[in-house]
Amino acid sequence: MNIGIIGSGGREHSLCYKLKQSSKIDKIYCFPGNAGTSEISENINININDFKKIYKEVKNKDIKLLVVGPEIPLVNGIVDYFEKKNINVFGPSKKASRLEGSKLFMKKFCKNFKIPTAKYEEITKTNQAEKIINKFKFPVVVKSDGLAAGKGVTICKNKKEALRDILEILNGKFKTSKKVIVEEFLQGEEVSYFVISDGKHYLPIGTAQDHKRIGENDTGLNTGGMGAYSPSKIISKNIENKILKKIIKPTIKSMNSIGCPYKGILYAGLMIDKSEPKLIEYNIRFGDPECQILMMRLENDLLDLILSTLNKNLYNQKISWIKKPGITIVAASKGYPGKFKNYKEIKNLNKIKYTDFQQLFHAGTIKSKNGKVLSNGGRVLNSTVVDSNLLGARKKALKILDNIKWENKYYRRDIGFRAIKKWELFQEDLKAKN
């Protein structure tokens, strides 16, 4: 079977890496891919939203299955388009993709079906802003209704900041929507919870904790994600049962009830406070960088899981994991998430030792005509390591990035700091008892 992967980031490289392990797959094509995917698949340089051109190549290359990585083509209806062409596609429909594509749809959905989330208000006109802001205690969360590549959310400490951000969105800062959501600020610790669903049945497919801020100790601007570890250390069996009962199960059931059966990966961004989960947001695909470490820890044939969702027999599957924890550290172009320079040569990539427990996934990279690997984006490389403990995994992941040379390299050195601190305290306590 030939398959196609839609996307060009670290998430797509890790999906390519995992699917390459399946004996049932003959060849993988990436649309458009990156320098890393080109080593294990064939890249086809077509815009991910040009469905007609993709379809032409799908027919030419005899591709039987498309796996969609990013949210934008899903929200734009890529699944609906190819299903009409009788091509299998892994991902939710356009209607189901509203869970991520419209924060307003998501909030109303949660309200209607009693899924626990933050209290909110909608703003569509400038003269509403101050009146609505006065209903909230600070800090408040201001969100753009539509997609904004992980940058349409701000935490505002006072009225001045909130009004500024609200007016920017209303004036078209994010071209996808001019509607604003104002939410109460949720206290607690954030975590990512993933399930795979065939529209009726679902199967938990891992946990992780992302680090969205650009600076260490979770400071500075929001990004698409600067690193993640898996499994999450804060999800106990009791908390997981609550997540499934209060959030996942009613989501899958309720999407069915409104005529939008959810098929694909559902990623719930959650806040855990005093062992109680609340939904921050839905994502309609694997997270990035969470996907990278999940693909390293997953023991199942990913293709089997995907085909089970398409055939609606997911209930026959069981998920198996490498018991060891792992970490992904994102190396970005200096200046990200603001202005940064592209096309900087990346050196020493050939000196990396690749194993089943250690990979470097490419995100924003391209190859020059003479074969050099160049930076081509805000997030550039993802160092991903599985080890006996999280501290060991982080040290090895950092060593990989330390040895890579390029002019604009930037990465956090503290990914997983909360979990590692708890582990270190546990070890100290254990020594004291002995």
Q: What SS3 state is found at 248? A: helix
Give the span between the Cα atoms of 251 and 260, in whole angstroms. Answer: 11
What the block records as the tokens of 238 is 């009791």
Question: Could you read off the pLDDT of 390-432 as tens digits, one per residue?
Answer: 999 999 999 999 999 999 999 999 999 999 998 777 566 556 6
Question: Could you read off the pLDDT of 211-249 as tens digits, one per residue?
Answer: 999 999 999 988 999 999 999 989 999 999 999 999 999
Give the span between the Cα atoms of 202 and 420, in whole angstroms. Answer: 31
Q: What SS3 state is found at 203? A: strand
Give the single-character DSSP code of 345. B
* 123 to 145, 164, 183, 280, 423: CA distances (angstroms): 10, 13, 11, 19, 43
Residue by residue, DSSP assigns 293-318 as HHHHHB-S-HHHHHHHHHTT-GGG--
Give the span between the Cα atoms of 360 and 398, in whole angstroms. Answer: 11
Give the span between the Cα atoms of 140 and 41, in whole angstroms. Answer: 45
- Ramachandran class of 199: left when φ > 0, alpha when ψ lies in -120 to 50, beta otherwise: left
Give the span between the Cα atoms of 131 and 119, in whole angstroms. Answer: 16
Give the span between the Cα atoms of 274 and 398, in whole angstroms. Answer: 33
Which residues touch 168 (CB under 8 Å, ≥6 apart)? none
Q: Are 147 and 284 in contact (CB under 8 A)?
A: no
Q: Determine which helix (DSSP H) or strand (DSSP E) holds 230, and give its type and residue range.
A: strand 227-230
Give the span between the Cα atoms of 122 and 391, in whole angstroms. Answer: 43
pLDDT (0 to 100) of residue 178: 79
Q: Which domains does the chain have, with CATH numbers?
A: 2-93 (3.40.50.20), 119-184 (3.30.1490.20), 189-316 (3.30.470.20), 326-424 (3.90.600.10)
Q: Are 296 and 269 in contact (CB under 8 A)?
A: no
Q: Are 334 and 408 in contact (CB under 8 A)?
A: yes
Sign, CA torsion 342/345/350/352: negative
How many helices and strands (H and E) does the chain possess? 14, 22
pLDDT (0 to 100) of residue 434: 60
| CB atoms closer than 10 angstroms to residue 49 | 15
pLDDT (0 to 100) of residue 173: 81
Which residues touch 104 (CB under 8 Å, ≥6 apart)? 122, 145, 179, 181
Largest CA distance in the chain: 67
Beta strands in 352-399 (DSSP E): 358-362, 365-367, 373-375, 379-386
Q: Which segments in the chain show pLDDT lower than 50?
A: none
| CB atoms closer than 10 angstroms to residue 259 | 8
pLDDT (0 to 100) of residue 429: 58
Q: Provide the Cα torsion 303, 357, 427, 424; round to 10°.
A: -90
Nearest by Cα to 215 from 227, 203, 204: 227
Q: What SS3 state is found at 232? A: coil
Q: Are 346 and 338 in contact (CB under 8 A)?
A: no
pLDDT (0 to 100) of residue 288: 96
